[in-house]
Structures are given as structure tokens and as C-alpha cells.
Structure 1
Amino acid sequence: MLELDQINSWPFKEAELILKKIGNKVPAKGYVLFETGYGPSGFPHIGTFGEVVRNNMVQKAFARISGIPTKLICVSDDMDGLRKIPDTIPNKEHYKQYLDLPLTKVPDPFGECNSYGEYMNSRLRNFLDSFNFKYEFVSATEYYKSGKFNEYLIKVLEKYDDIMDLMLPTLGQDRQKTYSPFLPICPKTGRVLQVQVVEKDLASRKITYLDEDKKAITVSVLDGNCKLQWKPDFAMRWAALDVDYEMYGKDIQANAYLYDKICRILGKSPPQQMSYELFLDENGQKISKSKGNGVTIEEWLKYGSQESLALFMYQSPKKAKKLYYDIIPKIFDEYLQHLENYNNELDECKRLSNPIFYIHGNTPPKVNLGKISFTLLLNLVNACNTDSKEVAWGYIDNSNPSLTKNDRKYIDSMLGFAINYYQDFVKPKKQYKIPNQEEIKLLQHLLEVLDIIEDDAEKIQNAIYKIGKDNGLDLKHWFSSLYEILLGTKEGPRIGTFVKFYGIKETKQLILDKIKL
């Protein structure tokens, strides 16, 4: 039996809260529903993916402790009006004419789908599918127009005054004059309108508003003729879909009490919730879909594995983290270390405290990489100054002759990422340090040591350490100087491991080339 208090992972803590909220029994619908929302106003970014993968991590934990079936839905708010033109689309000026149209009515600027909203939805779905997530994609446009939300749109109309009493104190004076939970879709222009509602008729399920010419227009609130303001919409969705768990960014957290109260006004208990911190770019600015700053999903996957990206999402979700290219090698190596620890661990509670369980479930990859890390491969490619896997494999095979077919396949994928990263980020910034006379003497001493030392990473590391210590050097500066002189970078893997991996003969030649400069 699991000792839950011994499991140190945030997904398990969240799973326990869900189990407590549903009273340790299967909901009437037969499963626990996890929901994640997506605003397709701009390209899906890593933050968008993070919300889905984190929900999936809590799902894994919940299934492990409860055995209750679960379901994950990803809801796209694609009926929202286009409020501003993203910087990331072509022919930006042309799209000003489509402002305030529902995203599923705005033409696709890339000419691939029926609408802008559909294109952005397809980008997200394709990526989620590549991760083999089990989820159901929900289009708000489809649910509104098909009548799937009608029952709860009627309830919003019934509780109109209660919702207004809740919302109006949160708004400025000017906004109060025109605010309504319902946003009519203009019958003439198709635009999403933020207008004053002057009359509501529960019997006919219609509202009347004043258009820009002060003419009274009456429309049904059902079947996609209206949509809800985003705060009431958020809560209506909880009630209509009977959501049990929702995760959202810190920017939404301030409104959580409104969602809760509206959900209760509509006759349902709000779901268990978790807020997470937002990602920042390298300048400390919030990552934005419309700005296109930060690292995109596709860019991360050019330089790092899916699993490394998932690990980044797992780590400290309630702390703001910078998301930029320099962190990818570090996260990749942390993933490899967690994987090794998981595969070597027998204690179930410790395994369930390891992020690998939330990334892979019970079936993580079985590989034995020894001392091979992503950083080591990156420095190998750097030393070889190559974009050829074949050249790099010559060194890998020389120092690791007993690799299995499965290990080789895994390393080969890592090598592809390392080459991409080297070509785009390391090579353009390489600045070799020209050794001074003192450093040349130290390198000559190192050459003498390498002539007689055993081909053992630890002994090589200790010998290099001893050279620095015997000469009264600051050891951190000594190792940094070696990287700058030999590789043109300020840091790298454990240098004894690198020399063993790259080869003593090859390292000696590398040193000789630098001394002769």
C-alpha cells in the first residue's frame, strides 16, 4: 500500500485534492473531467502546451491513487472576437477589416484552413497528437452553434440579474453602462458586439440591445446567436460540462472567485483548481502568443526532446521561469539524470516522486548511456566542428564499444539535437582564447601528463585538477580557461569525461593546435 505522505510531487498533491473534492467516489457521469482552455488568437506557444501536459501529469497521479476513469478536454475559445492583429501573421494591415469577427469567421492568413481559428486550432492539435495525449478537442464555436451550451445559456438568462450584481462592482463606471454577460453576434456584420442590453425575455429566450444607430435589435441567446463574456463563459463551461479540475495561469487567478460564484449561481459546484506562474522570455517579459516572443514549441523540439520539454513543464509550476534557448541543454541533462535514477530505483514512493513517472507513466525508456550526456555530445560536436553524425559516431563508438542497438538509437536522436544546437547557438558565438605564455606552459605540462596517464575519466580529471592546484590557480578559472582555449566556450562537461570521450590522442592534438597559434 502506498504511503501518500512519502510521495513528494505536486501532481500527487493535486490528485489528493481532487479525490477529496469528489468524496472518494466516481462522479455520476462516470469519470473525472479535466479541462484546459486555449485562446487561438495567436500561435500556440509552450505555455499553451504546458497547461495540457501538466493536466496530463495530474491525471496520471489521480489514476494511480484512485482507479477512477478520467477524461481530458481541450477547449478552444475560437468564437472570441479578433481584438487585435497578431504581429506573427502575414499581410497584417489587411486583417484590420476583420476586427471583432469571431476567430472562426476570420480568413486563414496562411491559406490552409477555412478560418484563422481553425488554423490555430490545427497547430495545437497536431502538436498534442504528436505527444500521443488522450484528449478530446472542443471548439467553442461548435458547442455554441450546435446547442450543446443552450441549457446553461438559458440558466444565465434566468440568473441574469444575479450575475450582473456580481460583475458590475468589478467594472469601471463607463463599462458598467454597457456591460452584459451576453455578447450578441451582429446579424448584419457577424461581429461580436459589446453593447448595452435593454431588455431580456426569458419566455422567448431572447435579448434586445441597442446597435450603433440606437436601433433596438432582438436576438436569441441560443444556437450561437450570442456568446458570453469571457468571465461568465469560463464559469458557464464549468457548469455545462461538469468540470472537476481546471488549471490556469496566474493572470486569471485574480478572477477565480468570480468563476466560482457564477458557477454556483448556475447550480453547480466549481471544480478543483490550480494556478501556475507564467513563463518569461530572456528579458523577463511575459511570453505572448500575439508578440511571438520566447521559444516556440517547434523551436524547442529542434534542439531538445519532447521529454525534456515535459520536464521543464513539470518543474516548479508555481514559480515564474525564464524560457529561452540557453536552458535547453541543462534541462535535457536533468531529464537524463532523472531517467537513470528512476530506472535504478526500486522503492515505489521514490519512483512516484520522480518526474519521469509523470512524463512517461510506468513505461519510461530503458537506456544505459553511461557517462554520455547532452552537454558531452554538444562539446564533442563543438570540438569536431562538425554537422556530421558519422564523424561524431566515430568518437562515440571508440569510447563506448558495448552500446546496444536501443542505446545507439537514443544517442543518435540526442546527437541530432546537439548538432542543431551547436550550429545555431554555439558556433556563431565561439570565441577562442589565445593562450598566454603561462597558459602555454600549463598546456605543455598537461600534454606530458596525457602521455603517461591511463585512459580513465576520473584519473584524467584528477590530473588536470592537480596541475591547477600545484600551480596555485583558481580552479574554476583554470577549468574555464581550458574550455575557452580548446573549445571556444566558457563552460562544458566534466573535462576528464570529455577527454576520455573525445580521446587522449585527439585531445593532445587539440592542445598542440592551440599552442601553435
Structure 2
Amino acid sequence: MSKTVENIIGKGTWIDKIANTIIEREKKLGRSTSLIRVESGLGASGIPHIGSMGDAVRAYGISLALQNLGFNSELIAFSDDLDGLRKVPHGMPAWLNEYICKPVSSIPDPFGDCHDSYGDHMSGLLLEGLDASNIKYIFKSGTKTYKEGLLADQTHTILSKSKLIGDKISESTGQQKYTQFLPYFPICEQCNRLYVANSIEYIPEERVVTYTCSGNTIGKKPIKGCGHNGQSKIDLGNGKLAWKVEFAARWQAFDIRFEAFGKDIMDSVKINDWVSEEILNFHHPLHAKYEMFLDKGGKKISKSAGNVLTPQMWLQYGTPQSLLLLLFKRISGTRHVGIDDIPQLMDEYDLYEDIYFGKVKEPNDSKRIKINGIYEYINHLNPPKVYPSLHIPYRILIQQAELFKNQTIESNIVNQIFERLKKYGLVKNEDYSNELLQKKINLAIRWARDLSDIDPSESNSIGSTISSNNVINYQQGQISEKASSNDTNLLTSEQKTLLEKIKIEFENLYNKTLKTPPEENSNNDSNNDQLAQEIQSIIFNNARSSNLQPKEVFRLFYRILINSEKGPRLGNYIADLGLQNVIATLEKKISSS
């Protein structure tokens, strides 16, 4: 029996531990805790992806945890839409090359006139994902923030001590740029570009930067300037601070107490921490470092590389709850993620719900508490009061939708899938009006039509490579063997032998149906029921002859077909899937074990 877990903080998750660490730190620093703001930066220079959303969602979770601990908290979602376009992302129109180095908030929307600008469209896509997942935030536009002068005082202080900052950056990173130029990018009044206009001098009494548009190197590509010499008044917002110092300015201006960061900007965060403490006299926020999201090939998910998995793509095939589960499960460790993870996350969310309502027992107290806590955060600390009762594995819905994907009338497909579910004993007539079931069926139909080449029974849980050097490294582990990947469920020699025998009998049965005269092989219910009974008998008899309990063998089939411990009436289900399809699945499973 598992020991009772003591000293639980909040809901018992990594989210609560970080929130508690924030509170303890703020108390030691002697700062007011009447309002605790957390921040997430939103990139606006390319298509936002799952990783971009993860930053905001996790910060939101910590804000929720702070509220749960009794503190007023809010999430600031800051869009860097004054950033300049450094290169044209993969798949975007070539005419964007004309706007390289121009602020993304001044570039026309490449997708039409649905947004005011390129930057507005890109940040809007991420906000759509947050809104669809019911994430609460306060939006801040970088362009408006500078135009309204909200960072003017911080900019003045930073530029007044630019030599000290330039020497520190050089000492810490070896970058010499800011020993020659100020850490501020004016927008050239002649060519309207950032980065190519280099700040030469700051005149504090006038709050003016003098610059020359002499060009710059973006990545490894030299970009020529227009040669204009000018001045930029920092109060007017016609320029922006460099990343090496801008975070610190935002932290002080918005009174930010927590912000996570990816390892790719670690050096910038360290410099910003120093600027915040030593230049702006503001205690930098607590940080948590997260690893990057990688695609299934191990490559970094990148806006410019074109391997982006967006929130919109996910929500075409999965629920917001499945997406939030992906993002809330843990913060540490490299995440290998793909669209094929959706079925696993859909079913895993149902498992979390079963455990939360006590329908599935989790004997490990610590694990159960963490699962319940994550479930509550997924539901914004307002979980359902009553058990939803209808948990049909998403893989079953996809497999059923595959059988009807060539039909054109979606309502007919929904009806046919529902009739199949009723035949399997998974639903009753009154369940037809269940909104969640209807939504999951429609998602499954979309999956079957768009992603029919992906086998949902082979969807793996998210891989992880744990990093050991996190600023805060609160690991949220996998929840149970029931939610693990099929790849970990290798067959024993006895199971392989058993499945070989069953496969041979399935092949004989399939060949017999092929030889049956057409007039005797109609698709009426009685013939289909007879086939289902023969399938059931083959499994049952082989289990008995192998000295196994039939329920153990049924469970093995459920794991192979739908990666679940239980499922529909197996004979009917296999008959509907098609014997030849199941035979192929068995062959693949046997050969891979």
C-alpha cells in the first residue's frame, strides 16, 4: 500500500511548487503580494506553434496556482510586434523580402485583409489558440507599449548607462556589438527599417538617440543600410530596445514576478537579470527554464523551417483539454511532439478524468494527487461536478470514421458511427444528444479524412529527454502504465504463439468468407452477427487451450487495436473493422515484438 503523501502544496503539481517558490521569494524580498503578475512573450514574426502556446499556457497555470494559494494574479501576454522581420518564414510569399528589417506591425497582412498587419495576424493566431482553450490573459502589444511611452523611463535609464551595459555584455557573452553601439534600435526615418540603423549616441537631457543607417548582419547575411543620419526621440516609440535589455525594461514597467524561458535565449535572460538588478534596481522575476519542442525527427520546431505544429492544427483533431494536458504534464525535458500524439492525449485525458472521479484506482498516492491536480488545472480549477460518464476511446472513433470517410454527408457518418457504438454496447439511445460525444465524433471524422495514413493505434506518448540543469526542475512523470506507448507493451513468447494461432484461424475464416457464394454473403445483420460470433469463439477457444483466462486475451486485443485496457464487444468490433485489417495489424505486432 502506498504511503500517505504529506506536505502537499496546492494541488500537488510542479505548477504549485513554482507558485509557492514565487510567494516565498517575494516575501523574502519584502515586496507587495497584493497582485502578482506573470508574463509570457508572444513572437509575432512567424506562425506561432505549440511551443509558443506552451509558454503562455504554463504561465497561465502558475497564475492559477497563485490564485489557488490565495493571491491575486494575472498573466501578461506581451507580443513583440515591433520586432523586425529578419527573414521570410518557410511557405510565405516572396514579396515579403521587400519588408526585411521592417517592424512586423507595419508589414501588410500576407493572408489578406483579415488583420491590420503581418504582426497582428501572427500574434492573433496564438491568441486564437489561447481563447479556444479558455486561457485568461491581458494582452500587451509591443508597438503600442512603446508608442504609449510605457518603457520610456526604463529606456532612458538603460541608455544613460549604456557603456556599463555594453562592457557587461562583452564580458558575459563575448559580443562586442554593444561596446560600439547602444542597445537600442531606432526605426530609420528614411527607409523605415530596424536593425540597420545603429545608435551612436544618447543625449539624456533631450532623451534622443542619434543614429546612422549603416547596415547590419542578420544571421549570416549582411543587410545594407540607406546611409541616413538621424535622431530618434525615445518617448515617441520610433524604435525599440535590444533583446539583451528589453526584458528587464518590461519586467520593471509591468512589475513581473515570474517568466519562464527557453534555453535558446539563456544568455539574454542572464544579461536581462543583471540589467534589472543593477541598472533598473528591480528584482528580476523568478524563472523556470523549459526545453524546446522537437518534431518526431528530433528537429527543433521552427517558424522558418516550416515544420510548425500550430494550436489551430491540433484543435482540428483534438479537444482543448488534450492540448492543455500536453502542455501541463510537465515543464522540464525535451518534448518530441507530432499530430499523431493527439489520440494518445485524448484518451489519456479520459484516464485522468477516470482517476479524478475514482472510476480508475491509482494506488500511488503521490501520482494520484498530481494527476488530479493537473486535471483541475486543465479545467481552470473549475472541474465538472458530475462524472461525464461517456469515455469512448478516441482510437475507436477514428477507426469507425475510417470506414465511412468517403461518404459526403457528415450527419450520416455521425449516425452510422453512433449505431456501431450502440451495437458494441458503448452507448445508449439517450447518449446521441451528448455534446461532447458529438464533438469527438466530428473530430474523428476530420482525422479520418485528413490523416488516414496515420495509424491511431500506434500513436506514442510524448517522448522526453530530461535536462538536469533547469533553474527550477520540477519533473512531472508519466502517470501510469495504462497510458504508456504501445512500443513498451512488447509481446511475450507465449502471447506471440497465441496470436500466431489466432491469426491463422482468422485467415482461414477470412478465406472462407471469400469463397461463400455472393447470394449467401450479403451484408445483412444475421450474417455479420454470425461472423462476429465465430471471431469471438476463435479468441475464446484459443485462450482456453493456452490455459489463459479469455478476459486476459481480450485485454491483449484491446491494447493492440485501441491501446486501451477495455473496449467494445470484440467479435462485432473486429468484424466491422474487417478481418483482413485486423490480420495485418496482428502480423505487424507479432513481427515487431
- Paired position in structure 2 for 1:503: 572
Indicate yes or no: 2:61 matched with 1:57: yes
Q: 1:270 aligns with which of 275, 279, 284?
A: 284
Distance 1:100 1:452, change over 3 A: closer
Name the structure 2 match of 1:408: 434
CA distance in 1: counterparts of 2:9 and 2:34, whole angstroms: 28
SS state at 1:13 partner: helix
* Structure 2 CA distance for partners of 1:102 and 1:498, relative to 1, 3 Å: same
Aligned pair partner of 1:244 in 238, 257, 260: 257
Alignment map for 1:421-500 (pairs within 5 Å)? 421-426=447-452, 439-441=503-505, 463=540, 466=543, 469=546, 491-493=561-563, 497-500=567-570
Q: Tell me: CA distance 1:452–1:323, structure 2 relative to 1, closer, same or farther (3 Å).
A: closer
Query: Which residue in 2 is equivalent to 1:223?
Result: 236
- List alignment gaps of at least 5 residues for structure 2: 1-5, 215-225, 408-412, 457-498, 513-528, 584-593
Distance in 1 (CA, whole Å) between partners of 2:194 and 2:33 is 33
How far apart, CA to CA, are the structure 1 residues paired with 2:98 and 2:161?
35
Structure 1 counterpart of 2:71 = 68
- Alignment check: 8 A CA contact 1:382 1:427 kept: no
CA–CA separation in structure 2 for the residues paired with 1:337 and 1:513: 27
- CA 1:416–1:242: 2 relative to 1, 3 Å: same
Alignment counterpart, residue 42 of structure 2, candidates 20, 38, 45: 38
Question: What secondary structure does 1:244 align onto?
Answer: strand
CA distance in 2, matches of 1:129, 1:177: 43
Question: Residues of 1 paired with 2:331 and 2:439: CA distance?
Answer: 28
Deviations 1:375-423 (A, max 9, x none): 2222333466676111110022231455765983222211112222223
Cα distance change of structure 1 residues 400 and 442 upon mapping to structure 2, 3 Å threshold: closer
Q: Is the 8 A contact 2:82 2:103 kept in 1?
A: yes
Is 1:379 equivalent to 2:447 in the alignment? no
Residue 270 (structure 2) aligns with: 257
1:13 equivalent in structure 2: 17
- Distance across 1 between alignment mates of 2:274 and 2:177: 21
Q: Equivalent residue for 1:356?
A: 375
Q: Which residue of 1 aligns with 2:307?
A: 293
The Cα shift of 1:193 comes to: 3.2
Looking at structure 1, the residues matched to 65 and 265 of structure 2 have their Cα atoms a distance apart, in angstroms, of 25
How many Å separate the matches in 2 of 1:155 and 1:513? 69
Pairing 1:150–2:148 present: no
* Superposed displacement of residue 130, structure 1: 2.2
Displacement after TM superposition at 1:70 (Å): 0.6
Q: Distance in 2 between matches of 1:233 and 1:513?
A: 58
Q: Distance in 2 between matches of 1:306 and 1:371?
A: 16
Aligned pair 1:232/2:245, yes or no? Answer: yes
TM-score by length of 2: 0.73
Unaligned stretches of 5+ in structure 1?
A: 484-489
The DSSP-based 3-state class of the residue aligned with 2:304 is coil
How far apart, CA to CA, are the structure 2 residues paired with 1:460 and 1:494?
A: 22
What's the CA shift for 1:512?
9.5
Cα contact 2:106–2:118 (8 A) shared by 1 = yes
1:492 shift after superposition: 2.9
How far is the alpha carbon of 1:468 from its aligned partner?
8.1
- Residue 268 of structure 1: CA displacement? 0.3
Deviation track 1:200-223 (CA, whole Å, cap 9, x = no partner) reads 221111222333387753332222
1:17-76 per-residue CA deviation (whole Å, 9 max, x = no partner) reads 1111211899548310011001111112111111111111112222112x1111111001
* Aligned pairs, number: 491
Q: How far 1:225 sits from its partner (Å)?
A: 2.6
Q: What's 1:98 paired with?
A: 99
- Residue matched to 1:77: 80
Q: Distance in 1 between matches of 2:169 and 2:134?
A: 40
1:487 alignment partner in structure 2: none
- What pairs with 1:304-383 in structure 2 (closer than 5 Å)? 304-344=318-358, 350-351=368-369, 353-354=371-372, 355-365=374-384, 366-369=386-389, 372-382=392-402
In 2: Cα distance, 1:287 partner to 1:190 partner: 31
Indicate if the aligned counterparts of 2:182 and 2:200 stay in contact, CA closer than 8 A. no
Partner of residue 219, structure 2: none
Cα contact 1:33–1:70 (8 A) shared by 2: yes
Q: C-alpha separation between the residues in 2 aligned to 1:13 and 1:284?
A: 30
In 1, Cα distance between the equivalents of 2:541 and 2:134?
47
Residue 174 of structure 1 and its aligned partner are, at CA, apart by 6.2
Paired residue type of 1:111: G
Superposition deviation, residue 451 in structure 1: 7.0
Contact map agreement 1:379 1:493 (CA 8 A) in 2: no
Amino acid at match of 1:31: L
Paired with 1:137 and 1:514, the residues of 2 have a C-alpha distance of 51
CA distance change for structure 1 residues 376 and 465 in 2, over 3 Å: closer, same or farther?
Answer: farther
Decide whether aligned partners of structure 1 residues 147 and 29 sit closer, same or farther in structure 2, where only a CA change above 3 A counts. farther
Shifted more, 436-445 versus 319-328: the winner is 436-445
| 1:248/1:274 contact within 8 Å kept | yes
Show the counterpart of 1:397: 422
Distance 1:185 1:211 in 2: 9
SS of residue matched to 1:272: coil
Q: Deviations over 1:476-504 (max 9, x none)?
A: 9x968x99xxxxxx74345973434x737
Q: Deviations over 1:259-315 (max 9, x none)?
A: 110111211000111111111112111011223314221111111111001101112
Distance 1:496 1:444 in 2: 27
1:275 partner amino acid: K
SS at match of 1:54: helix
- RMSD over aligned Cα atoms: 4.0
Q: Distance in 1 between matches of 2:443 and 2:30?
A: 44
5 Å-filtered alignment, 1:135-214, equals 135-170=137-172, 175=177, 178-212=180-214
Indicate the residue corresponding to 1:111 in structure 2.
112
Change (3 A) 1:479 1:310: same
Give CA deviations for 1:353-377 in whole Å, capped at 9, x if unaligned. 5211111134324444466211222
Residues 166 and 178 in structure 2, CA contact (< 8 A), matched pair in contact too: no
Q: Per-residue CA shift, 1:292-350, capped at 9, x if unaligned? A: 31422111111111100110111232111111122111111111100111122899985
8 Å Cα contact 1:26/1:68 also seen in 2: no
- 8 Å Cα contact 1:280/1:322 also seen in 2: yes
Equivalent pair of 2:243/2:268 in contact (CA under 8 Å) = no
TM-score computed with the length of structure 1 as normaliser: 0.83
The worse-fitting range, judged by mean Cα deviation, of 396-405 and 98-107 is: 396-405
8 Å Cα contact 1:442/1:467 also seen in 2: no
Give distance in 1, aligned partners of 2:339 and 2:179.
47
C-alpha contact 1:282 1:294 (8 A) present in aligned 2 = no
